[in-house]
Structure 1
């Protein structure tokens, strides 16, 4: 344990003369950093461990009491293309957005949990009579039944109400989820019986498929009925429109064949024939002009197509060529005047004449053909003109006829479309497939899925740890007891002089046993002062165990008293506390013994006249004391008792039960002031064990006479507010308070509040066989 390193230098700051302005002690500011948080958790570890233990224990009890549930899972795949197998229409559009639309998939999830599907499951598995699916009473059901005037049956029978309750209970056992963004849906069913869980999961999947097929069947049936009604209406409309067309055509003499009127067909035929006749006339004219040109120009008729095609011209040209060859041969052989030559030329001219005659006949024939073609074309033009005139007269009737015909065609087309759709719908009524299929049917689970023991225990542990940490911080924040020297300094504004450790009960028991052994040798008639062995175990602990940490703390207080005294004679040191039971008497006795042990003339005065604990502990048989000496009923030498080992003088205060009013006012009297002044002249140090500050005002009167005031604070017991209130009572003499002393400090626990002032740093300095740290059992 390290004592605080304070130093009041009398040359620089004499405490008696220092004029300090007393300020009310503000709330101690607590700066919580990471190290302080760790210290809080360490010193409040039992709260954390207790909270963890409670929650883990509660979780364990719950796990032992909870009924295990088994979960079976059936996996369903939404497959919209599967139903297209039954589609008899090749032109029906494929469901493009069914599988990719999240809203549609979520709708299927809700459909699986619908009342229609679950109602079929209840009927199939007879869950109404299953005790596990029976509705269990809730915590607030009695209150609801009390506030409800009449049962909310809504006209339903008891069987229907029981089935509705069973469906509600079944919903609680089902969990239908979609796996991510896939088309796969998991149907989880939980039950106390594993076989029952698998049955429920598989039956829900089957009921979902049945509901899909039934829904499609009903839809097709409704569509077929509607189409049938529409077909009757369309059939009547088609018959009426066809009848209107026929009547209008008959009334306007618009006979048609192959979809056209006779007049239109004639116009079409005459127009085609006129075009053909015009082409033939043009051809005949071209041939005539060619033949005529050859005939006028005496050209070679061989170039004519007719001549080339005529067998007569071919023979004449052949004969002409032979005769021309013969003329040339004879002329070259006999000369131009030879009769053979003349005869040959005559034959050549005859051949030429025959050719010309044939060409003339061809020309006449071509002219006649051209004339016939012109006549035919003109006749066709005349006929076409007459038909066009007739057609113009019936054009308005044909416009109306075409309008009626279009209406009739539209009605017929719509009727045929509805008729085809009706046949398809009727055919699909007997063949429907659901849009989903089972990927994996539910198997009977082997082990229960609830409760998850490991998870629950882990959650209980983590929740307990978290809650314990929160409670630890709350408890530490709400704990207003003084726990560390730093807190005492922050509250009082004065240094903490020492932390007197708590002596273990074993050590106290050992010393008490030693005192009981010395009781047989004690004679109260010889000396009112108890022998050292019979005194309370802690009254002389500092001098009897000088190597202990207890003695080290007392020496620290003694050093503070000596330094602040400035070496002057007759210092009066008052030792007090906020309330009773804080160890001020033990501290005062050990401080006085320590001062006397170093050779200073020291007297300890029992100033607590109402509860003289010091006198009862050291000299319970004393007859005279402070009151008698101050009242001059006895001399100082008669009342003072001495400790033979150290030379410490003791002025007791024997109890006076019959003079309570006198005792209450005695410390305020001049006699008490004179007594203390006289003691200053006789001793180097006067130690006064005063009453507590908060409940009594006696200490305030004694404080006005004191030079130094030491405030004892019981560690981990005295609230900070009480210490602050005690300091308020010393406000007029605040500058005389030299510091505070923490008493009964558990040094091992102190390291969780102030590590550097705990026993950790004193470990190497424990010697002479003394215990390193005084502990409680």
Structure 2
């Protein structure tokens, strides 16, 4: 083996192994799979458009409900059974009430929906019909059977079915953390959608009023029963108290027992008498202390209040004394003490002082007399109170029993009054026309369908289709690497590659013909370099398909290329040609087509073929066939491997060559046949030689 490609090929090598992520290759992958993504997006949009076309438009009407805290507080003020404080759990309970079967049945009754044929049998879109059929089929094969119960009234069954339809198309939610609830209902009839939403709001308000009324009625009945029991027990307790008093002769005066009243009066009188004695004792002691001095100041003592009739007399005498003393002082200051008028005033003052002293003595004696009287009264009251206490000491047990009976009677009376008050309030609340909820935004007639949402559905279809396309493209890119470019073939297998040939099943345009001619010329050049022609000696070349490619290799064009320089070319059909190829080859000049059986079975058969023809092409069957003619392949001077474009992997090629490596002659070149040139460019780097070569003139 000689020539530049006589070395052993580096089979199965991966030039990208161990390399980092190449952004340019990622871009190439994106460009290659862009068509898949676009097709997926268009398919998703088409499916979405189909769903829009076959869907039944539905109209949605929304009712806004407020859980009114002000009304709730008003109910708490007037109700004997106050409402609970609004909490998240309470609001969630209200949402479940709106979704309940009970409220749905009330709406059905209000609007007579069970008698509306259009409501009970609404138009169904294609998707729902398919899902219903699938459900029916799965239910048919299901092993479980519905339990057989008692017969149901058809009217009730119709209402239940209508309520189920309502609940399927009802949507209720809370607005944020507020006490506002949104109730939306959708229907294919906009008038009915608005009517149902309004009926739901009205039924919910009526449900609140009815619930409060029922609660008040039930509470009133219970309170009424308790009132009867409490009235009987209170009457019995009061009668027991009165009977006990009569039996023990306990008379009540001004709300208290007579003995208690007497003892209270005596105690009050004794306290008052003791206070009077203490006051008089202090007054007498004060007078005696001031009068028992060597020369008492009568005028100063007389200024004290004695609480006797002498107080007025002493006040008048003291006034006269003060006036006389004032005049005496003035005369003495002007004329002296010996003046007759001064002497007269001095005498008058002495008489007044003596008179005041006598009157003061009488007042002191009167005070002492009052003191003695008060002491006697205090002693008398103390004796009376002591005697009374001794008399009632033996009745303590009776009084204790009476206190117990009175406590029981008072308790029953208090409870009875409280229950009576609650009963009156509860009776008023039975018809209290205020609910703790109100409608703040009635449902309006919808003017446009709420579903299907055409733009959103189309956008979702595009996005989902594109995502599916991206997934498919990523799976395709992550699959085994397949040989699609000459550079990949050379880099990954170490074999020379002449280029690409377009699919022969289509009519070739100018560019495709140019690519085909260039590839075949390069294949001839590779062959010439591998097996140089000698004068009078031809060459035998084996055309070996690696996989079943049938008529993918343009054998006619290749033979024509070899004969263009005046060479005589023999094409031997060893199982690799089709009848159509044979027919086209026979139409060429300087080209002959033989069957393998046409070659004489002689030892020098190959030498004779070399003498007669410059190039002998052995068209062998695929390497994947179990009947591959290894002996015939060994007779060739060189081999050209025919690789189906985008169908085989480097490992597949390596395994095939390794299996037949001893029989294959040096591989002069490889050709990628049946290529899609537009797609092939997507596997080439932009600006590379082979990418530019595809566009070369």
The corresponding residue for 1:158 is 154
Q: Distance in 2 between matches of 1:36 and 1:443?
A: 58
User: Is the 2:633–2:665 Cα contact (8 Å) retained in structure 1?
Assistant: no
User: Is the 2:570–2:613 Cα contact (8 Å) retained in structure 1?
Assistant: no
The corresponding residue for 1:378 is 379
1:427 lines up with 2:428 in the alignment: yes
Q: Distance in 1 between matches of 2:527 and 2:137?
A: 74
2:662 aligned counterpart, secondary structure: helix
Q: Distance in 1 between matches of 2:692 and 2:611?
A: 41
1:762 aligned counterpart, secondary structure: helix
User: Is the 2:220–2:427 Cα contact (8 Å) retained in structure 1?
Assistant: yes
For residues 586-629 of structure 1, the C-alpha deviation after alignment (integer angstroms, 9 at most, x for no partner) is 465256336x57xxxx6544332457667654447xxxxxxxxx
Query: Do the aligned partners of residues 408 and 704 (structure 1) sit closer, same or farther apart at CA in structure 2, a change above 3 Å counting?
Result: same
1:77 lines up with 2:66 in the alignment: yes
Deviation of residue 41 (structure 1)? Answer: 5.5
1:62 lines up with 2:51 in the alignment: yes
1:394 aligned counterpart, secondary structure: helix
Q: Distance in 2 between matches of 1:54 and 1:348?
A: 141
TM-score, length basis structure 2: 0.80
Q: Distance in 2 between matches of 1:358 and 1:507?
A: 163
Query: Do the aligned partners of residues 79 and 315 (structure 1) sit closer, same or farther apart at CA in structure 2, a change above 3 Å counting?
Result: closer
Deviation of residue 749 (structure 1)? Answer: 2.6
Deviates more, 1:114-123 or 1:678-687: 678-687
User: Is the 1:216–1:432 Cα contact (8 Å) retained in structure 2?
Assistant: no
The corresponding residue for 1:531 is none
1:259-338 correspondence to structure 2 within 5 Å = 259-293=255-289, 294=291, 297=294, 299-302=296-299, 303-304=301-302, 305=304, 306=306, 309=311, 311=313, 332=338
For residues 681-721 of structure 1, the C-alpha deviation after alignment (integer angstroms, 9 at most, x for no partner) is 88886654444433374642132233321111243567889
Largest Rg, 1 or 2: 1
- Say which of 484, 503, 525 aligns to 1:559: 525
The corresponding residue for 2:391 is 390
The corresponding residue for 1:125 is 111
1:732 aligned counterpart, secondary structure: coil
Query: Do the aligned partners of residues 132 and 40 (structure 1) sit closer, same or farther apart at CA in structure 2, a change above 3 Å counting?
Result: farther
Deviates more, 1:405-414 or 1:499-508: 499-508
For residues 27-64 of structure 1, the C-alpha deviation after alignment (integer angstroms, 9 at most, x for no partner) is 99899966556545645555555544444334334333
Q: Distance in 2 between matches of 1:228 and 1:606?
A: 119
RMSD: 4.6
The corresponding residue for 2:657 is 727
The corresponding residue for 1:653 is 594
Query: Do the aligned partners of residues 161 and 721 (structure 1) sit closer, same or farther apart at CA in structure 2, a change above 3 Å counting?
Result: farther
2:594 aligned counterpart, secondary structure: coil
1:569-608 correspondence to structure 2 within 5 Å = 572-578=540-546, 579=548, 580-583=550-553, 585-586=555-556, 588-590=558-560, 592-593=562-563, 596=565, 604-608=569-573
1:695 aligned counterpart, secondary structure: coil
1:658-673 correspondence to structure 2 within 5 Å = 671=602
Deviation of residue 736 (structure 1)? Answer: 1.9
The corresponding residue for 2:415 is 414
The corresponding residue for 1:659 is none
1:516-531 correspondence to structure 2 within 5 Å = none
Query: Do the aligned partners of residues 92 and 130 (structure 1) sit closer, same or farther apart at CA in structure 2, a change above 3 Å counting?
Result: closer
Query: Do the aligned partners of residues 763 and 232 (structure 1) sit closer, same or farther apart at CA in structure 2, a change above 3 Å counting?
Result: same
- Say which of 71, 96, 101 aligns to 1:115: 101
Q: Distance in 2 between matches of 1:37 and 1:198?
A: 55
Deviation of residue 415 (structure 1)? Answer: 1.4
Q: Distance in 1 between matches of 2:641 and 2:179?
A: 79
User: Is the 2:28–2:685 Cα contact (8 Å) retained in structure 1?
Assistant: no
Gaps of 5+ in 2: 123-128
User: Is the 1:480–1:721 Cα contact (8 Å) retained in structure 2?
Assistant: no
1:203 lines up with 2:233 in the alignment: no
User: Is the 1:72–1:188 Cα contact (8 Å) retained in structure 2?
Assistant: yes
The corresponding residue for 1:173 is 169
Query: Do the aligned partners of residues 299 and 735 (structure 1) sit closer, same or farther apart at CA in structure 2, a change above 3 Å counting?
Result: farther
User: Is the 1:135–1:165 Cα contact (8 Å) retained in structure 2?
Assistant: no
Q: Distance in 1 between matches of 2:209 and 2:83?
A: 18
Deviates more, 1:458-467 or 1:372-381: 458-467
For residues 434-476 of structure 1, the C-alpha deviation after alignment (integer angstroms, 9 at most, x for no partner) is 2111111111111222222222222222233333333445567
User: Is the 1:55–1:464 Cα contact (8 Å) retained in structure 2?
Assistant: yes
Q: Distance in 2 between matches of 1:728 and 1:330?
A: 171
